[in-house]
Amino acid sequence: MFEGENLRSALRGARYPEDFDFSRLVQELNGKVDLSSAISEWALRDRDAAWGAVKPQLSQQQGQDQSSSHPYEQFESLRSLVRAVVAKDGETNGMQWALTQLSPLDPARRLEYLRGLSMRNEFSPEGIAAMASSLPPDERFDYASSLARSGNIGPSAYAAIETLPRENLLYLIHRDIYHLRSGPEAIFRTKPEAFERLWSDVRTRFQLTPEEISRITSANQQDPR
């Protein structure tokens, strides 16, 4: 294995001839250098072939040998691939293609990758909403929850939350926004003034009624799912 940041990033900015054998490059250098830039260029030319090289790494289950590449590099390869596909095919088509490719993965692993892509601002809020709407109901809730639980909640999380049925939406706000950030048992120690700004944004964004606010701020609320 190469040592040193410069060697691991040796392919950054590289140019490839039209007939370049990306498959052989990945086979020879996987785990030795950062391949994300090469994967991106490959995906612009042949997205399915590039996915064929990335998929085996993403499909590995926890505990399996992952010595061929680091987890960070696995995600960076996926990120570069999806960015290239979205750039070439448009956000809607690119995301639908990515979801189709990720669908055979374990749900927990798929959620991990989707959250990672979303947190890196790879998609617009409208794209996030379209992607969330394409997920099965339970996975959609878990996806929206994972974004709501991020330390920097914002438009992407709101877009995913808005795709939920109203009762599920209220429960998620109760559990993952209000009580996660306020009160003695809050996990995120949000400053009072920052929480008030967030809570004002949430009330306005989701047009919460007085009755809904009362339910959200109560100590207990049943999971409606």
Select from 50, 73, 89 the last residue of a domain.
89
Q: Which residue has the tokens 């064929």?
A: 52
Q: Is residue 98 part of a domain?
A: no
8-state DSSP, 46: -
Please tell me which residue, 84 or 10, carries the higher pLDDT value: 84
Query: What is the pLDDT confidence band of residue 1, given thresholds at 50, 70 and 90?
Result: very low
Whole-model pTM: value is: 0.80
- Looking at the 3D structure of the chain, how many domains does it have? 2
Instruction: Write out the two tokens for 139.
Output: 């996975």
Q: Is residue 97 part of a domain?
A: no
Contact status, residue 84 vs residue 95, Cβ threshold 8 Å? no
Are both 120 and 83 inside the same structural domain?
Answer: no
Q: Which residues span the domain enclosing 1?
A: 1-89
Are both 120 and 81 inside the same structural domain?
Answer: no
Query: What is the pLDDT confidence band of residue 7, given thresholds at 50, 70 and 90?
Result: very low
Tens of pLDDT, residue by residue over 97-125, are: 999 999 998 888 889 889 888 887 678 99
Are both 142 and 73 inside the same structural domain?
Answer: no
Q: Is residue 108 part of a domain?
A: no
In the predicted structure, residue 69 carries a pLDDT above the cut 90: no
Q: Is residue 107 part of a domain?
A: no
Are both 124 and 52 inside the same structural domain?
Answer: no
Are both 160 and 196 inside the same structural domain?
Answer: yes
Contact status, residue 158 vs residue 176, Cβ threshold 8 Å? no
Instruction: Give the Cα separation of 158 and 162 in Å (integer).
Output: 6
In the chain, the amino acid numbered 104 is: P
Task: Give the mean model confidence (pLDDT) for residues 53-61.
Answer: 78
Contact status, residue 95 vs residue 88, Cβ threshold 8 Å? no
Q: Is residue 198 part of a domain?
A: yes
Q: What is the pLDDT of residue 71?
A: 57
Are both 82 and 151 inside the same structural domain?
Answer: no
Are both 120 and 218 inside the same structural domain?
Answer: yes
DSSP, collapsed to helix, strand or coil, labels residue 30 as strand
Are both 158 and 218 inside the same structural domain?
Answer: yes
Are both 82 and 129 inside the same structural domain?
Answer: no
Query: What is the pLDDT confidence band of residue 187, given thresholds at 50, 70 and 90?
Result: low
Q: Is residue 23 part of a domain?
A: yes
Instruction: Give the Cα separation of 140 and 196 in Å (integer).
Output: 27
39, with CB counted inside 10 A (0-12, 13-18, 19+), is: buried
Q: Is residue 163 part of a domain?
A: yes
Task: Give the mean model confidence (pLDDT) for residues 34-45.
Answer: 90
Task: Transcribe 116-141 into DSSP letters.
Answer: HHHHTT-S-HHHHHHHHHTS-HHHHH
Query: What is the pLDDT confidence band of residue 172, given thresholds at 50, 70 and 90?
Result: very high
Please tell me which residue, 128 or 122, carries the higher pLDDT value: 128
Lowest mean pLDDT among 67-71, 161-165, 217-221: 67-71
Are both 174 and 135 inside the same structural domain?
Answer: yes
In the predicted structure, residue 186 carries a pLDDT above the cut 80: no
Q: Provide the 10 A C-beta neighbour count for residue 219.
A: 7
Instruction: Give the Cα separation of 23 and 26 in Å (integer).
Output: 5
Q: What is the pLDDT of residue 116?
A: 86
Are both 82 and 120 inside the same structural domain?
Answer: no
Select from 48, 74, 89 the last residue of a domain.
89
Query: What is the pLDDT confidence band of residue 14, given thresholds at 50, 70 and 90?
Result: confident
Are both 119 and 225 inside the same structural domain?
Answer: yes
